[in-house]
Structure 1
Amino acid sequence: MDAGRFRLGNPYVALAGAGGSILGFLQLWLDHPDLVDESSADELAEQLLRMYGMSLEEAHAIAHRPLPDGA
């Protein structure tokens, strides 16, 4: 937030939104695994970054980066 990448009001509400999104994603994966593929987690990460105020381009670039070794 200090760097200006995120624009949030109440950080607790933002945390609840992220947590709910992740729980919903996991429920979708358990109930309908055919609707979730390898790129789905990246898509969720991108949408969460955008929800916090990051631009479409920056959120896409960050969410689709390869994970570091050992992750």
Structure 2
Amino acid sequence: MVDPVIALTVLNGSLLALLELWCNQPEADSDQAAGTMSEMILHMLGLSPDEARDLARRPLPAAA
């Protein structure tokens, strides 16, 4: 079972790393990086690689 404190720490670190990438490499494909990171985090949290890829590539729901 995933420790929620460790999981939150990993998620926060990943977000900071993504922000650092965007700030220091503005030419990087930010959508691709965010999608790849989402897949990796979902897999780390227990989804299979295929489930993580499917979920990360779904469109976001429309704002209410």
Three-state SS of the structure 2 residue aligned to 1:53 is: coil
Are 1:29 and 2:37 matched, yes or no? no
| Number of positions where the alignment pairs a residue of Structure 1 with one of Structure 2 | 64
Q: In structure 2, give the amino acid aligned to 1:36.
A: D
Structure 1 unaligned regions, length at least 5? 1-6
More contact order relative to length (CA 8 Å, sep ≥ 6): 1
RMSD: 1.6
Give the secondary-structure state (helix, strand or coil) at the position aligned to 2:63: coil
Match of 2:36 among 43, 53, 68: 43
> Identity over aligned residues, as a percent?
38
Residue segments in structure 2 that go unaligned for 5+ positions in a row:
none
TM, length-normalised to structure 1? 0.79
Match of 2:4 in 1: 11
| Post-superposition offset of 1:48 | 0.5
